[in-house]
Amino acid sequence: MSTPDTLDPDIMRVGHLLADAARHETLAHFRTAALSADNKLAQGFDPVTIADRAAERAMLDILARERPDDAVLGEEYGAVAGTSGLTWVLDPIDGTRGFMSGTPTWGVLIALSDSTGPFFGIIDQPYIRERFIGGPGLATVTGPSGTHTLKTRAPRDLSEAIVFTTFPEVGTGIEGAAFAQVAQRAQLTRYGMDCYAYALVAAGQVDLVIEAGLQAYDVQAPIAVIQAAGGIVTDWQGGPAHQGGRIIAAANAEIHAQALAILGACPE
């Protein structure tokens, strides 16, 4: 079993099985001419592809076989009840717009949480073949250049920080204006990286990711990975973020405090 300092080896084993299966299913459709998407919204655009559904279905089948007592929350197929007190939280493709566009910045998100939130997470980028893992006593990335320890960036002033968000508008007009205040003070602001931006926080490349309007399956894996690497993830009020909403993912407590001082004043 997992303790505050160690991870149950079976959790790691199953996590890799899930990520491997999702990698196989997503790559079968990535950058193919036949790929199309359905829109989940009556107004606006929230795409889902055959790859999203196939990857989540493959992961669900593995969990039903390997961890039948655990609950599941997935983006495409919803919730499955469990009795163990643990919940696997799955986003088969975080960044479906990027997936459709052929960019390698989407990813597979896998988290395991208990009543307090996520304690194990995987951010997998199948095309680049990078797998970021975070859990008790564990923070690593494995990719083409080998396996390396994840460690977030050292403290620095916001004026020297690199800040990411996925959509330029961030969320509502009010939320976008609050983000703009942070961006105007930062050294560099970049857009459109989806979950890969959170992986870069854990890898020590980025200081802040700031977003709004997220779901639990968007954030639980990044929370586990970033926290294991030494960072901090909260909502814009400094509270727990694992249910989604407004998110600040920060490399350290100091840069988090600077962002929070601005974003915390944003009305709900």
Residues 172 and 107 in one domain: no
Residues 99 and 173 in one domain: no
Final residue in a domain of this structure, among 149, 183, 216: 149
Final residue in a domain of this structure, among 121, 149, 177: 149
**CATH number of the CATH domain containing 249:** 3.40.190.80
Q: Does the pLDDT at position 4 exceed 80?
A: no
Return mean pLDDT, the chain: 95
* Domain interval for residue 42: 9-149
Q: Is 51 part of any domain?
A: yes
Residues 179 and 256 in one domain: yes
DSSP collapsed to 3 states, the chain: CCCCCCCCHHHHHHHHHHHHHHHHHHHCCCCCCCCCEEECCCCCCCEEEHHHHHHHHHHHHHHHHHCCCCEEEECCCEEECCCCCCEEEEEEEECHHHHHHCCCCCEEEEEEEECCEEEEEEEEECCCCEEEEEECCEEEEEECCEEEECCCCCCCCHHHCEEEECCCCCCCHHHHHHHHHHHHHCCEEEECCCHHHHHHHHCCCCCEEEEEEECHHHHHHHHHHHHHCCCEEECCCCCCCCCCEEEEEECCHHHHHHHHHHHCCCCC
Number of domains comprising the chain: 2
Final residue in a domain of this structure, among 105, 120, 149: 149
Q: Does the pLDDT at position 80 exceed 90?
A: yes
- 210-263: per-residue pLDDT in tens? 999 999 999 999 999 999 999 999 999 999 999 999 999 999 999 999 999 999
Residues 247 and 167 in one domain: yes
The pLDDT of residue 1 is: 52
Mean pLDDT score, 19-27:
98
Mean pLDDT score, 53-78:
98
Residues 56 and 185 in one domain: no
Share of the chain above pLDDT 90, in %: 92
Residues 166 and 236 in one domain: yes
- 130-158: per-residue pLDDT in tens? 999 999 999 999 999 999 999 999 999 99
Q: Does the pLDDT at position 43 exceed 90?
A: no
Q: Is 66 part of any domain?
A: yes
Residues 141 and 164 in one domain: no
Residues 83 and 188 in one domain: no
Residues 259 and 168 in one domain: yes
Residues 14 and 126 in one domain: yes
Q: Is 4 part of any domain?
A: no
Mean pLDDT score, 19-26:
98
